[in-house]
């Protein structure tokens, strides 16, 4: 697609031929998206175990009880691996939306989603903390994997009976790297807080699944784990390499919107 898209209030946004819009005002918010280096590191990590298992678990949660023609929105899509795997498991998806703060991520996610499905795919560069440019009640499956959670907006765009699939770190996730000064700490009580915030937004917990495994300390993927996420902006220069395996331990939470 290309040209200009205008909203009912008269705002205009340029569309491009790479399949995405940039919905930022002229003065872009002072927030940082993923860099090309972070995205390259994520590509490598998500191609390894146990992250392949996590991608499979996400795809199964998306496909469960999904009807033909479902609409998928990946809110915080990164490079699109989770969405692409999920689209491949849906029956004739009607459309897919890839949304992220990083233009590089959206470009990669749109390309990957189009390779995985014949459904129309649109990418949007946006801030997830702002109102989403999605009509209310039209999304059947929303993904939010290690990304900001604007739960009131996620609940608004979900169709009745629609589901939000989100992934959060367990307390021990990458604990060896956190102890070595390479990662931001996981806030205690994270699951309880997410569940409470979701309930306040009108979302009910449907299912919870733990996905766990290990990465050998000697692999370059350990460095990629630091480089691929927000810790890349904050990692200590004094970080030490763990002597033993690095624990991957996350929870996949599925929330439903009341009908």
Is the pLDDT reported for residue 237 higher than 50?
Answer: no
Q: Dump pLDDT digits (tens) for 95-108.
A: 999 999 999 999 99
Class for the domain spanning 3-257: alpha beta
3-state secondary structure of 148: coil
H-type alpha helices, 78-227: 81-88, 103-116, 151-157, 175-179, 190-200, 221-227
Widest distance between CA atoms in the chain: 58
Nearest to residue 225, comparing CAs of 187, 175, 190?
175
**Cβ pair 254, 245 in contact under 8 A:** no
Q: Dump pLDDT digits (tens) for 49-90.
A: 999 999 999 999 999 999 999 999 999 999 999 999 999 999
**Cβ pair 78, 99 in contact under 8 A:** no
Question: pLDDT: is 220 or 230 the higher one?
Answer: 220
**Cβ pair 113, 80 in contact under 8 A:** yes
Is the pLDDT reported for residue 248 higher than 80?
Answer: yes
Give the whole-number percent of the chain exceeding pLDDT 90.
Answer: 60
pLDDT at 219: 73
User: CA 228, 95, 19 angle in degrees (round to 5)?
Assistant: 60
Question: pLDDT: is 76 or 27 the higher one?
Answer: 76
pLDDT at 180: 59
Mean pLDDT throughout 32-39?
79
pLDDT at 21: 87
Mean pLDDT throughout 146-155?
96
Residues 60, 65: Cα–Cα separation, whole Å? 10
CA atoms within 13 A on the CB side of 70: 24
Tell me if the pTM is above 0.85: yes
Across the strands, what pairs with 14? Answer: 4
- The verdict on whether omega for the bond into residue 204 sits within 30 degrees of 0, i.e. cis, is no
In this prediction, residue 197 has a pLDDT band, given cuts at 50, 70 and 90, of: very high
In this prediction, residue 116 has a pLDDT band, given cuts at 50, 70 and 90, of: very high
């Amino acid at each position: 697609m290309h040209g200009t898209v205008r909203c009912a209030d008269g705002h205009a946004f340029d569309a491009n031929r790479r399949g995405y819009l940039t919905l930022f005002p002229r003065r872009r918010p002072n927030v940082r998206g993923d860099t090309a280096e972070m995205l390259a590191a994520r590509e490598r990590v998500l191609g390894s175990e146990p992250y392949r298992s996590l991608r499979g678990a996400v795809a199964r949660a998306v496909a469960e009880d999904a009807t033909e023609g479902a609409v998928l929105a990946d809110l915080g899509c990164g490079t699109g691996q989770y969405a692409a795997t999920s689209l491949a498991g849906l029956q004739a998806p009607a459309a897919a939306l890839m949304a992220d703060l990083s233009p590089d991520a959206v470009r990669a996610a749109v390309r990957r989603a189009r390779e995985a499905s014949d459904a129309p795919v649109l990418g949007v560069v946006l801030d997830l903390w702002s109102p989403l440019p999605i009509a209310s009640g039209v999304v059947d499956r929303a993904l939010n994997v290690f990304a900001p959670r604007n739960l009131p907006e996620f609940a608004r765009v979900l169709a009745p009976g629609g589901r939000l699939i989100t992934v959060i770190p367990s307390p021990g996730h990458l604990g060896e790297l956190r102890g070595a000064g390479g990662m931001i700490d996981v806030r205690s009580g994270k699951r309880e807080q997410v569940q409470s915030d979701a309930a306040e937004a009108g979302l009910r917990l449907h299912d919870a699944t733990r996905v766990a495994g290990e990465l050998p300390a000697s692999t370059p993927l350990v460095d990629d784990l630091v480089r691929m996420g927000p810790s890349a902006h904050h990692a200590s220069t004094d970080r030490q390499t763990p002597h033993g395996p690095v624990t991957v331990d996350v929870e996949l939470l599925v929330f439903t919107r009341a009908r």
